[in-house]
Amino acid sequence: MNKFSILSTLKKQLQLIKEVKMSYLYLCYALSAIFGGMIPIISVFYAKLIIDVIQGSKNEQELIIRVVVLTMASVICFSIKTMIGGFAGSKYIRLRQNEFNRCARLYHDVDYKYIEDSRFQDHVNVGFRALESDGRGFQHVYSMLGILAADFVSIVLFFVLISQFSIWIGIICIVAACMITWINRSISNYAHTKEDDEARAFRQANYFNNTCSDFAYGKDIRVFELKFPLLKIYQDKSKQYVQVIREIEDKKLKIGFFELAVLLIQDAISYYLIVQGFFQGQLGLASVSLYLSSVVGFTTIMRTFSENLSIMMTDLKLSSTYFEMVMDQSYYSENTGRMAFDKETPIEIEFKNVSFRYPNTKRYILKDFNFKIHAKEKLAIVGTNGAGKTTIVKLICGLFEPESGEILINGIKASEFCKQEYYKMFSAVFQDFEIYAGSILENVIGNDTDESSKERGRMCLKRVGLEETIESLPHGYDTSLVKSIDPKGVDLSGGQKQKVAIARALYKNGNVVILDEPTSALDALAEAEIYQSFDDLVSNKTAIYISHRLSSTKFCDKIAFFDENGLQEYGTHEELMALKKGYYHMFEVQGQYYQKGEAKNERKECLA
């Protein structure tokens, strides 16, 4: 992982300005610094001019002219600074939007194993905080640069002005500002050490907050009276989050007393030297007013500069975490390697001594596992819950990699393929498939927009039995899904969504077709139709079916039965039934339910 220091992070952000061809922002910073830095200096001269008139050293007309000049100068400086700030602010938003695009690519390209890793999610949450708003993190760094540049110009001008009387006052103010900066940096460093704890507590509290407010959970919460248990957990997690924030704020309060002491000592010494200068005849009353105002202004701007610098340091630390995350190449597989086999090539899959356990866990799901799926073979994987059936699918699809051993595709190590090319060989419908906020057709064909692709997509939807339903909708295949996004859209039933996901797999037409519990929301008749459709489609493809219901096994050449101890039985339906072991007992139990159901229906018909 590349580590980004505060300076290297700042350098990176400044380089991004040039990379996106916004070099004119450098000029904006310079102009903002000059005109913004002059405003506090101008304001300290008003009191001196008034006292000069009162003492008779200046006439009233000259006072009015000078006040008008100073006021016009302030207005001009303020106006230019405001216009530049508004113009530059819109460009800062563009810079942050570019990073959002980078984040989208991160989630698309990062190895899938990290998506299910809670530690990675905590890292992501910390990193993405840099992009959460314009008032914190990445974009705020650019805003603070302009503010700090103006503060720095004011500091230089105040130092020059005060040094006309006593350079020691200027030095005292600089030393005090450095001490305050060190104090603020200590606070910032402490807050940085708490980032992971804060991110974890926030993620957990936010999860239960979303659960309590998400309408998708509404039925279960009401029927099973989960309201109070969920609220109790949410409150506990929220307290943990508040506790982390409280620890940070307590630290700020304790260290803040040192900052107050430094400011009091600085002001006491500065005022003493100025008043002493007046009594020693070095300064007149108007000059005393000017220098006292200058010290107050200098102290204020130095404190503001210190606070702003501390804020920017915090922003830069968020940005550094963000850059470390998006540029950490360990999250990505090398985008090099073998190309995918062409779609007509049959695929053989072999597991050789494969061991696998999920990240940050100790239990092996597979241990020294050996298994082969022959080319063009239709295999049903069945068994008990927790036996590792879905894990095998994830390994086959390349979403996870074995801890040891090898997965071979037509005798070639899966690791030798380019990741994106490898994915092309698989059409899969997973248990936790997703429907996206697009049209029904777009959910099947994705970015393919030519007419032949649309026609093939419509044919796939027809093959899964959705043609009649879709054509009854006002906008047909162009009907938007996810009604919460598009009020004119529709929300399909669970079974209909599964059919859309299956049509998506049909459309991709990969070398290997995998159905991982794809028909759990369908009735037995609809399930049989889906399997028959797939059986027709994959006649020359390797096909893997995973299901708790054993109706899929009659379409398959071989059956693999798993339990918590791994692969226990392998063979045809007849062979496994003859063994009278796990598969036989599961089949018999399910058969009894179907037989009871049929007998019950027959009794109803007789009574009728």
CA separation, residue 282 to residues 50, 53, 152, 158, 433 (Å): 20, 20, 29, 19, 82
Q: What is the pLDDT of residue 266?
A: 76
Taking the CB of residue 541, how many other CB atoms lie within 10 A of it? 21
Q: What is the pLDDT of residue 411?
A: 93
Say how far apart CA 87 and CA 70 lie, in whole Å: 26
Say how far apart CA 414 and CA 341 lie, in whole Å: 12
Is the Cβ–Cβ distance between 226 and 220 less than 8 Å?
A: yes
User: Which residue intervals of 280-388 are DSSP H helices?
Assistant: 285-326
Give the start-end residues of each E strand in 486-557. 512-516, 542-546
Closest CA to 292 of 178, 158, 174, 177: 158
Split the chain (608 residues) into runs of 10 and give each run's mean pLDDT: 82 91 92 91 80 67 79 90 90 88 76 76 76 85 93 90 82 79 72 72 76 68 70 80 79 72 78 79 79 83 83 87 80 79 91 88 86 90 81 89 93 90 89 82 88 92 87 88 78 83 87 78 63 67 80 78 85 90 84 51 39
Left if phi > 0, otherwise alpha if psi is -120 to 50, otherwise beta: which for 223?
alpha
The C-alpha torsion from 331 through 337 and 343 to 344, rounded to 10°, is: -150
Q: What is the pLDDT of residue 150?
A: 93
Q: What is the pLDDT of residue 277?
A: 79
Domains in the chain (CATH in brackets) are 6-331 (1.20.1560.10), 349-435+492-579 (3.40.50.300)
Closest CA to 518 of 399, 430, 391: 430
Q: What is the pLDDT of residue 465?
A: 83
Q: What is the pLDDT of residue 250?
A: 77
| b/e per residue 331-360 (b: at least 16 CB within 10 A) | bebeeebeebbeeeeebbbbbeebebbbee
Helix pair angle (285-326, 45-54), 10° resolution? 170
- DSSP assignment letter at 519: T
The C-alpha torsion from 69 through 74 and 77 to 78, rounded to 10°, is: -150
Is the Cβ–Cβ distance between 502 and 429 less than 8 Å?
A: yes
Q: What is the pLDDT of residue 534?
A: 64
Q: What is the pLDDT of residue 124?
A: 76
Left if phi > 0, otherwise alpha if psi is -120 to 50, otherwise beta: which for 401?
beta
Is the Cβ–Cβ distance between 571 and 565 less than 8 Å?
A: no
Helix (H) or strand (E) holding 536: helix 524-537
